[in-house]
Amino acid sequence: MFKNTISNLNRIRQVAEVLARYGFEDVVTNTALRRLITQKRRVSWQHAEKTVFETTRWERIRMVIEELGPTFIKLAQALSNRADLLPQPLIDEFEKLQSDVPPFDVVLAKQIIERELGRPISEVFTEFDDVPLGSASIGQVHKARLLTGELVVVKVQRPDVQEKVRTDLSLLHELVRLTAGFLRNHGLGNPEDIVDAFERSMMKELDYTSEARSMDQFRKLYENYETFYIPKPYRELSTAKILVIEFVSGCKISDKEKLLEWGLSPATVAETGMDIYLTQIFEFGIFHADPHPGNVLVRPDGTLVLIDFGMVGKLTKQQKYAFAGVFIGMARQDARSMALNFRRLAVTADIPDMRRFEADLNDLIEDFTTLDVKEMSMGDLADRLQVIIYNYKLQVPGAVFLILRALVILEGIGKVLHPHFNTFEFVRPYGARIIAEQYSTENILSEAQYTGSQLLALLTTLPTDVRQIMRKISRGDLRLKIEHGGYQGLLRKADQLVSRSIIAALAVAFLLFSGLSLLGRYSPEMRYVQGIPVLTWWSLGITGFLLLILLILGTQRERK
């Protein structure tokens, strides 16, 4: 940890200065970051013109993220899907963040491809476009043609991006360690867990073989669908840093003019897209988590094509049932059913007042059941649900927020293509299907088998566990670990007070000894300086040194 702190010192100081520039001196002055800022810099903050205060605090947080760079931007974008952690105004700001960056030199891209494949690029591709189709913070995409004649796209990872991301992740861990207390006091209860989860996500995104596996999984699930197609990944030509995928032509799903030009019904295309997506969620439990128009293409024959599987969400069977139950409870105007399914869905749900929780859900139901089709909005519903989740501190799976975000995106596409598009009408039959699946004989037997195995395991281990506990009690070896929360600051101050008291007591003791040493009778070998024994001078010196330490500690306390 100390090594990481030293290696990231300049970057951490830069982060602290960016925070102060945008009016977040409290984050710096109330955390361990203050130790990295000189007195001169602190004075300059106090006299700086605070024009940033013309904006809201949420906007200034976004400005800080934008200035800190791509890794921080990607973290903020990931958090924009977590309404259980952040307030809605901050999520709205994070959704404005863009991580597009200029492409890197095509010469470097070719060198990376040759190094990864271990052969010249001419032995793999007969054509390779120098101008990329697109670029992002992790990599960029080039169009190419294989020796066998197939058109492909090649995703190439940026040079040294893995080292840069690892450095920034190390920095994030260090920043969270330095500011964890401040973040917890402002409602972010588990900042270390958030960074850990983000690190796992980023490391997975840096491995293109993971995306190739996701594409193969979707191709297998949808191999019998005629209206839906997943491009083929060339696993034999792909590595962790390059990904070769079949090139698929088509227009964006939102290009209504092109659809009409091809003789396709935009309304039918919208319905097919929603049907495919809801199948992913409620039937397979694995879904493409970023269905914006650029990632959903339509072929001239009406086939829908999904590209870019860098972000994939998953739901367990129980999460799928609980999530569907929330919507089914709303459709039936049953607030209690919604509340129970929310509790089933949440990883942890410590709701102090269930009646109030049900009342809030009932208000939501009443607001939306009185609207007609034109007034209903998945975006409004998602916002209201996310506010409720945040207010009651429900820790629900991150996949839930990815689904809500995706449904909002798909509703926006649907309303462009379909004059009477209603997301709720599409979800309703899937809810009924989920209910039938949940209470099917096969699922009930599966749940009974799981419960029985868990009960059997408990009964098997219980005698041994009880015997061990009783043995420890009889030996007096049973120990209880109790952690007190919120006392760290008080304990730290008590520790400082005890330390200073000890130093003061020593100083007094040496001072008394100095006085008493003047009265002593010493052998002729004792040296005297200006008529005073050397022993007395040494005692006075130690007393002065201890008093100097007390003075320094007192000065530091005043500064803090």
- Structure-model confidence comparison of residues 21 and 204, the more confident one: 204
Answer whether 134's CB lies under 8 Å from 178's CB. no
pLDDT band at 132 (very low <50, low <70, confident <90, very high): very high
Please give the pLDDT value at position 47. Answer: 39
**Of 49 and 517, which is predicted with more confidence?**
517
CA-based nearest residue to 132, from 148, 115, 144: 144
pLDDT > 50? residue 379? yes
The CA distances from residue 404 to 84, 185, 212, 503, in Å, are 13, 29, 25, 60
Assign 117 a pLDDT band (cuts: 50, 70, 90): very high
Say how far apart CA 91 and CA 518 lie, in whole Å: 74
Domains of the chain: which residue ranges? 1-99+163-203, 256-439, 494-556
pTM summary value:
0.64
- Element at 177 (helix H, strand E): helix 161-185
Per-position DSSP letters for 203-261, written without gaps between them = HHHT-HHHHHHHHHHHHHHTTT-SSEE-PPB-GGG--SSEEEEE----EETT-HHHHHH
C-alpha pair distances (Å), 306 with each of 238, 411, 472: 19, 17, 60
- The band of 178, judged by pLDDT with boundaries at 50, 70 and 90, is confident
Concatenated DSSP letters for 510-551? HHHHHHHHTT----TT--EETTEEHHHHHHHHHHHHHHHHHH
Question: Does 363 have pLDDT greater than 70?
Answer: yes
Q: How confident is the model at residue 443, as a pLDDT?
A: 61
Do the beta carbons of residue 246 and residue 232 sit within 8 Å?
Answer: yes
Own/partner pairs for 51-58, CB < 8 Å, 24+ apart?
A: 52/21, 52/22, 52/23, 53/23, 56/89, 57/23, 58/87, 58/89, 58/90, 58/92, 58/93
* pLDDT at residue 130 greater than cutoff 60: yes
Band (486; pLDDT cuts 50, 70, 90): low
Reported as a single tens digit per residue, the pLDDT across 275-329 is 999 889 888 889 888 888 888 999 999 999 999 888 888 888 888 888 888 888 8
Highest mean pLDDT among 245-249, 289-293, 542-546: 245-249
* Mean pLDDT, rounded, for 386-405: 81
Q: Which residues have CB under 8 Å from 86's CB, separation 6+?
A: 79, 80, 94, 390
Q: Averaged over 511-517, what is the pLDDT?
A: 75
Q: With contact defined as beta carbons under 8 Å apart, do 297 and 248 qualify?
A: yes
pLDDT average, residue stretch 442-459: 66
pLDDT band at 52 (very low <50, low <70, confident <90, very high): very low
Tokens of 514: 């100095």
Hey, what amino acid is at 228? Answer: F
Amino acid at 176: V
What's residue 46's pLDDT? 44
Write the single-letter amino acid at 27: V
- Pairing of the two strands 228-229 and 304-306: parallel
115 pLDDT band, cuts 50/70/90, is very high
Could you give the C-alpha distances from 532 to 249, 463, 529, in angstroms and in order? 99, 77, 5
The residues that bridge with 135 in the sheet, in sequence order, are: 140
Residues identified as active-site? 290
- The larger pLDDT score, comparing residue 551 to residue 243, is at 243
387 or 443: whose pLDDT is higher? 387
Other beta carbons within 10 angstroms of residue 259's beta carbon come to: 23
Q: Residues 427-436: what's their mean pLDDT? A: 73
Mean pLDDT over each residue of the chain, to the nearest integer: 78
Task: Please state, in angstroms and rounded to a whole number, the distance separating the CA atoms of residues 386 and 401.
Answer: 8
Do the beta carbons of residue 343 and residue 321 sit within 8 Å? no
Give the model's confidence band at 491: pLDDT under 50 very low, under 70 low, under 90 confident, else very high: low
Q: Percentage of residues in the chain with pLDDT exceeding 70?
A: 73
Instruction: Answer with the residue of higher pLDDT: 148 or 419.
Output: 148
Region 397-420: what's the mean pLDDT?
83
Higher pLDDT, 225 or 174: 225
The CA distances from residue 380 to 77, 282, 322, 375, 384, in Å, are 20, 22, 21, 10, 6
